[in-house]
Structure 1
Amino acid sequence: MPAAPARRPALWVGLAGLAVVALIGGAAIGWWGALVLSSLYVALSAGWGVLTTRTWWGRMRRGGAAAVGGVALVALVVTSSVAGPAANPGTTADDPPAASESSTRVEVSADPAEGVEPAPVTPTARPEAEPAESDPPAPADEPEAGAQPGTALAALATLDVKGRAPKTGYDRDQFGPAWADIDHNGCDTRNDVLRRDLDDVATRAGTHGCVVLTGSFDDPYTGTTIAFERGQDTSTQVQIDHVVALSDSWQKGAQRLSADERRLLANDPLNLLASDGPANMSKGDGDAATWLPPNKKFRCSYVARQVAVKQSYDLWVTGAEHDAMQRVLTTCPKKKLPKGDATEPAAPLIPATAVQEPEQQRTTAPQPDAGSGSGGGSVYYENCDAARAAGAAPVHRGDPGYDGHLDGDGDGVGCE
């Protein structure tokens, strides 16, 4: 019997520890909290007894300790499941957490001007600290998401948004000869576009209706009407604009196109518009972020063409360019995406008034030597520098001043 008295101090210490734990749990949560912490205390002590045959209340066989620990664990599970709702009597185990005061204020103060009615105060609330990027943007911030299929706005959403690549390696020659006869209709692209975009066209006799001499042009960029007359000093009043400038396309994906694809891009009727000369010069190689037509009524059509060209040739846009396009197209969300095919003529070879070029359009200049192959009347340029200085380059076959010595590759376009 000497062992019995030795156990009593350990038993009293264990019971004292149990009482302290119960008091702590009761003070924090209540009676259910006291039961939870007491069960945890007994389970841990019994677990220690299984390992060492010693518990906080004295020695115990491993089997007995295991049995006590099992009972304690069951009690811990049961009391824990009940203690949660007991500590928050306003909810049940199936209820979501109650809304905090600050999140409730967010719901109630919703701005009716945004079309959102104030939400009633309910136990359910959205998280208070949601990362900004996880909040879905308002529909007005991303109008492409709800754009109708087939519209320019919907197509804009398909374009990649990237930074501008270096201009390194860009040269006009990367896009083939200027104004090539891409559709094989016998006329160069410039005259094709002039015949397409001008009214009351008169062509030069003997050119099979190709070379445009005069016409009336309603310029979409400025909204003005220009009386076009072909000539050294007048032809530049109407220029042919690359809607997506070739330099811009080079920096946004055209570098990876094949030479044939770039040649198509430079001569694609979809990417070409007759335009007021000074307006075209002011545009330069700008994109929608840096230049838009002064005529605001034409901006939707202009940007829609840019989107169509970039989609056709898998070119990307910069972030600023995308935003500028988006701002324009949201004013005309139903604007259809223009269609185009570079293999089709820019304009059918419709009959046009064929006239002999007026004599006053010819200027007196030194005559070339016999046999030089001149096809440009009485105007003669000694070399391409002279043609450029006169503002006549490039010089096309049939133009005043065209001569074989200016056209090294014999493609009908000199001083390219």
Structure 2
Amino acid sequence: MKACINNQQIRHYNKCVLLELLYRVKRANKSTLARLAQISIPAVSNILEELEREKRVLNVEDEKQTRGHSSGTWLISPEGDWTLCLNVTPTSIESQLANTCLSPKGEFERFAISAPDPQALLAEIEKCWHRHRKLWPDRTINLALAIHGQVDPVTGVSQTMPQAPWKSPVEVKYLLEEKLGIRVMVDNDCVMLALAEKWQNTERDRDFCVINVDYGIGSSFVINDQVYRGSLYGSGQIGHTIIAPDGVVCDCGRYGCLETVASLSALKKQARVWLKTQPPTTGLNPETVTTAQLIDAWERGEPWVRNWVDNSANAIGLSLYNLLNILNINQILFYGRSCAFGTTWLNTIMRQIGFNPFDHGDTSRARSTQIGFGTLTQVEQVLGIGYLYIEAQLALMRQVK
């Protein structure tokens, strides 16, 4: 027989609700928290006082006090650890420092790196951390890392990193924690985007999918407000769905994966092969053609790149149609450099997806299929990986004894 929930458990649950709201909205008065949490103001007052005694939240005087709001504004206590959020590939690092409540501190940075081996990559991460530690010597600064490829978020091991010249797993979490003496959390870069949407976009649904079309093609699913990773942490590997069984070999060892047709690396490979057969009047060097040059050729209407991009969009749309019908997720958000191909590219994907067979023309936003570009800034995207710490903290609090 299932035990009934007692008042103490309800109060504990409501504590987590209020903390989650403060991490989302950053600061709010009691009446706003009561409205958002659907809890009475006296109950909110009691819970906030308890959280204040635990030094989890802080009450500050509101400079613009109005009648009924004289109790000031509440926010997450600023005394906790800060987080350096990094989006890491073997060729670049994007970084944003965040304070206790995951608000940005300092400037967003993106810089190229050279990492011929795992030790060099870890050295670049350490260098970035030391630079921020020097600027804020009185702060404990933990690391939250978003890494391209397959990642085990429990052990913090980067299992595979497609852009890397090495193929062996790297114990990122263990090695950095041992070297720096701080906490380190690691997950996939698409999980970073999903967390960013979940925590910072008030317009998203409880069920949604982010698709990152860049060097490769990855995705992450949020189902009932929780990131779904799968038992082997391989959920979202849409880039390795096979769409051309007789196609070219993929890095994963199989033939005809979506990434071999529709990723930016696939488009650049097509361009290199084609340019070698063309006169030099194209102005492009097949050995050094870049993503920016492909996008520029697309914008000029060059038929060769238009055809490739159209084919890639059709392939993405077909893969999504099959995948999303199974999950019945009706909000899809696109990120990555391929988004620069614009609405024509997106419309081609949408035509191939067609329509959700369970979508019978319901015009209410909550139920109709939504497909579009993600709107979060680069800073907001990178901050997403920092919410690994927030979710871990709230998960521990929810374990009622």
Q: Looking at secondary structure, tell me which structure has more strand per residue.
A: 2
TM-score, normalised relative to structure 1 = 0.23
Between Structure 1 and Structure 2, whose CA radius of gyration is higher?
Answer: 1
TM-score, normalised relative to structure 2 = 0.23
